Homo-oligomer: A and B are copies of this chain.
Amino acid sequence: MKGLTELLKGALEGIVLQRISQGETYGYEITNYLIDLGFEDIVEGTVYTVLLRLEKKGLLSVERRKSEMGPPRKFYSLNEAGQRYLSDFWQKWGFLTATMAKLKEQQND
């Protein structure tokens, strides 16, 4: 789906963290995975900036390893802070979606 850019703001960090929490992975794979999921517009540059931001926030463990294919990869995994952050993210997301649903169902008062 296209034109999600603005809606993605703020959600992208959680999305990337969630993907990493499912198993050690790296930027290029994350990008392709998200595109396959349906976020067609996501480009590599965006994912890399998110990854660097998450790393700076101290939420990720990083390890550079050779690849069987192409240049070396930077493998990411969640550390404890990252897991807390992710859990916090899903809580906020749940609240947001619930509130949005309330809003939508509301009839004219």
- Footprint of B on A, CB under 8 Å? 1, 3-11, 13, 15, 18-19, 22-23, 37-39, 90, 92-93, 95-97, 99-100, 102-104, 106-109
Q: CA of A103 to CA of B100 in the docked complex: distance in angstroms?
A: 20
Identical chains bound together, number: 2
> Quick one: closest B residue to A104, CB to CB?
B18
Residue pair A99, B38 in contact (C-beta under 8 Å): yes
User: Binding site of A, secondary structure by majority: helix, strand, loop or mixed?
Assistant: helix
Residues in B whose Cβ lies below 8 Å from that of A92:
1, 3-4, 7
- 24 A-B pairs whose Cβ atoms sit less than 8 Å apart in the complex: A1-B95, A1-B99, A3-B92, A5-B10, A6-B13, A7-B10, A7-B11, A7-B93, A7-B96, A8-B10, A8-B96, A9-B9, A9-B10, A10-B10, A11-B100, A22-B108, A23-B109, A37-B99, A37-B102, A37-B103, A38-B95, A38-B99, A90-B104, A97-B97
